[in-house]
């Protein structure tokens, strides 16, 4: 048995940070080398969630670092103390769920790392309330929004918080696909009794992407009874989807009614300030230094979703490792250009031009107001967004108060028809288009 020198451990961590920046997490500073026995370096983490992340994503990186620092064949092994492990598995049922398709919970997906903005404030507040008082506050809680906007983060944060507070001894977090596959397997094997016990005896059922339950009649029937059993027992039910309950294709009316009986909270596309805050948060988690001017540029150019923002940050960090290690505006422009987004016109730029011309506020465009003074500039924004950006109808509608794709399509047709018969209006749109293209050139320079 050999104790590791502090300098050797610093070399190992440094090797991982430099050569594998994509996997680095802020809590790596809390890792502790325990012993080096028989060519195995035992590394202690704070909790089982961290151990699971390290096992799944970091074993090769730490093994490479240990071999480079120590100059010998070494294998990295991760562990935690027995008390933490017992606290994670509770009464032993959680491990059974994991072996049966329990989704991995990301250690970084906690409430402290979630950036709250106007687009997600209700969903965040409801999630915190549910984690602190499951089964009594909002039951069920249904969170919906487009891809990459933070639904999964909130679901996993609830699991983390409930586990930490001890408000739920038995939590099951799965995907809708897992539920359906388990149901099919149970039918084929004649094991419906075991299936129902697995799903109806939990304290909290968390299902991601519930929209995949649509068009599966027998699975919907079984979930309907599972929902009723849990709800009547005051057990918490949390669901997420990419659309509201009423918009899920072929979902039975009785399930739509039950999903709507609790709180339905949407997550919309983040505004510029929220996107900047997200980049700052992600940078701190990855221990990356980013100048504020770079943060603003990336946030202006990438409007799609949070995953794309994080991907851009990771790429910036990787590029900086091949240069002088500094992330500046030139490097950011190069990265955005390679992604095909550096010179793209953004929805925010379109809004700036339109609101300036019509003397209205973005808040008015995102509101429910239908007066002509608000409706016209809103439709112009939607029209230009469809003409000059690559955003889908749903994405454009999400930016303007969560309106659906049919509203955007109607706006596009209306403005297109109006400019064909109104030369003065057509001239205004041409001026706006020219102004936006001029801004794109300025960004490119």
What are the tens digits of pLDDT across the range 365-403?
888 888 989 999 999 999 998 887 767 788 888 888 888
What integer is the mean pLDDT of 396-417? 88
pLDDT on residue 239: 96
pLDDT on residue 265: 93
Nearest to 279 by CA among 213, 335, 211, 343: 335
Between residues 11 and 89, which one has the greater pLDDT? Answer: 11
Confidence of residue 321 (pLDDT cuts 50, 70, 90): confident
Q: Which residue ranges form the domains of the chain, and what is each CATH number?
A: 6-84 (3.30.300.180), 111-267 (3.40.50.300), 272-338 (1.10.8.60), 347-444 (1.10.1750.10)
Length of the chain, in residues:
445
CA distance 143 to 149: 11
Predicted TM-score (pTM) of this structure: 0.56
Average pLDDT, the chain: 83
| Cβ-based burial of 434 (10 A; exposed 0-12, middle 13-18, buried ≥19) | exposed
Contact between 115 and 281 (Cβ < 8 Å): yes
Nearest to 241 by CA among 123, 324, 131: 123
| Helical ranges in 175-242 per DSSP H | 176-189, 192-200, 217-232
Nearest to 399 by CA among 267, 264, 301: 267
pLDDT on residue 341: 55
pLDDT on residue 127: 94
Residue 99 has pLDDT above 50, yes or no: no
What integer is the mean pLDDT of 93-106? 51
What integer is the mean pLDDT of 257-265? 93
Residues with Cβ within 8 Å of residue 285, at least 6 apart in sequence: 25, 26, 108, 113
End-to-end Cα, the chain, rounded Å: 60
């Amino acid at each position: 048995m050999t104790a590791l020198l502090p300098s050797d451990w610093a070399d190992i961590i440094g090797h991982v940070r430099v050569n594998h920046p994509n996997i680095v997490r802020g809590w790596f500073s809390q890792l502790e080398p325990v012993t080096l026995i028989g060519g195995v370096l035992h590394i202690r983490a704070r909790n089982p969630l961290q151990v699971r992340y390290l096992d799944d994503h970091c074993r090769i990186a730490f093994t490479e670092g240990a071999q480079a620092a120590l100059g010998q064949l070494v294998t990295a092994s991760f562990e935690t103390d027995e008390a933490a492990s017992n606290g994670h598995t509770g009464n032993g049922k959680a491990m059974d769920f994991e072996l049966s398709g329990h989704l991995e919970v990301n250690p970084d997906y906690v409430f402290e790392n979630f950036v709250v903005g106007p687009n997600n404030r209700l969903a965040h507040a409801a999630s915190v309330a549910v984690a602190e008082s499951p089964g009594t506050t909002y039951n069920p809680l249904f969170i919906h929004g487009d891809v990459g906007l933070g639904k999964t983060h909130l679901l996993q944060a609830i699991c983390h918080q409930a586990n930490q507070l001890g408000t739920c001894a038995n939590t099951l977090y799965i995907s809708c696909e897992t539920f359906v596959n388990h149901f099919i397997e149970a039918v084929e094997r004649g094991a419906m009794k075991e299936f129902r016990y697995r799903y109806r005896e939990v304290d909290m059922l968390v299902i991601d992407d519930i929209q995949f339950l649509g068009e599966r009649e027998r699975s919907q029937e079984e979930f309907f009874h599972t929902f009723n059993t849990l709800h009547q027992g005051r057990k918490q039910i949390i669901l997420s989807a990419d659309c509201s309950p009423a918009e899920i294709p072929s979902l039975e009316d009785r399930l739509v009614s039950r999903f709507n009986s609790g709180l339905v909270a949407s997550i919309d596309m983040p505004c510029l300030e929220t996107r900047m805050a997200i980049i700052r948060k992600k940078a701190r988690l990855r221990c990356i230094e980013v100048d504020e001017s770079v943060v603003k540029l990336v946030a202006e150019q990438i409007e799609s979703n949070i995953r794309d923002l994080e991907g851009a940050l990771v790429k910036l960090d990787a590029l900086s490792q091949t240069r002088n290690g500094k992330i500046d505006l030139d490097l950011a422009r190069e990265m955005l250009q390679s992604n095909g987004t550096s010179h793209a016109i953004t929805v925010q730029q379109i809004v700036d031009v339109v609101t300036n011309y019509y003397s209205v506020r973005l808040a008015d465009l995102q509101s429910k107001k239908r007066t002509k003074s608000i409706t016209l500039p809103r439709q112009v924004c939607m029209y230009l967004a469809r003409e000059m950006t690559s955003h889908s109808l749903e994405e454009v509608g999400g930016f303007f108060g969560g309106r659906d794709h049919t509203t955007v399509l109607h706006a596009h047709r209306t403005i297109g028809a109006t400019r064909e018969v109104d030369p003065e209006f057509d001239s205004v749109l041409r001026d706006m288009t020219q102004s936006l293209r001029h801004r794109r050139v300025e960004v490119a320079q």
